[in-house]
Amino acid sequence: MNIRELLERARVRSGLNSKRQVAIEVGIAASIMTQYERGVFIPTDEILCDFCALAEVDPKRWLLWARMQREQGKARQHWEEIAAMYVKETGPQAA
């Protein structure tokens, strides 16, 4: 699952009618939501947890994903390895 799919799932599962309503629900501007969808910005961990709650998914994989996106170089490689170990332990489901 990618971030765009998570945001859409949050909209559908929460019963909100628009992306704008999802943005309001988590306390951000609709324009920021668009930037998240486009991959321009990575949501903060708190906002990401809010999206996961609306989408009814466990936030652990999304928190790993966000951490990997924020890192560069050797640190990113190590976070990718941690994520791979987590997926191996918990199974390949996306959410």
Predicted confidence (pLDDT) per residue in 43-63, tens digit: 999 999 999 999 999 999 999
pLDDT value at residue 7: 96
| pTM for this model (two decimals) | 0.84
Q: DSSP secondary structure string, 52-88? A: HHHHT--SHHHHHHHHHHH--HHHHHHHHHHHHHHHH
29 or 95, which is more confident? 29
pLDDT value at residue 87: 81
